[in-house]
Copies of this chain bind each other. A is one copy, B any other.
């Protein structure tokens, strides 16, 4: 298992971690198979989406903010970050990517994003 560090700057932010995952795959000498990218936090997630136009990340965060507002009358969790927990479950805690001939296999427009929903914080991502 490898660990990478992610320092986020905002409460909600998508951070492209594709290059860091590529470095781990190369350093481990993985040949063929799949790699799991796992987020060990409950107020952050991970997703794969477009890397070319940053407006896609903006739109994703905005839509999530509308679907899961920071405050709702029925939230009970006392820490005030229920929305972050809920967004984490909607996106999921891991993605799985194919490795072939030592290279991460992603579509042309795909990047892997760490999804911060309760930052800024220092976070970890685990890779196996």
Contacts and interface: CB of A to CB of B under 8 A. Distances in A.
A24 interface: no
A18 interface: no
A42 B50 contact: yes
Interface residues of A, number: 55
Contact of A77 (B48, B55, B66, B106): B55
**Number of this chain's copies in the complex:** 3
Contacts of A95: 92-94
B42 A98 contact: no
Interface of A: 1, 32-34, 36, 38-42, 47-50, 53, 55-56, 58-60, 62-63, 66-68, 72, 74-79, 82, 85-86, 88-98, 100, 105-110, 126, 128
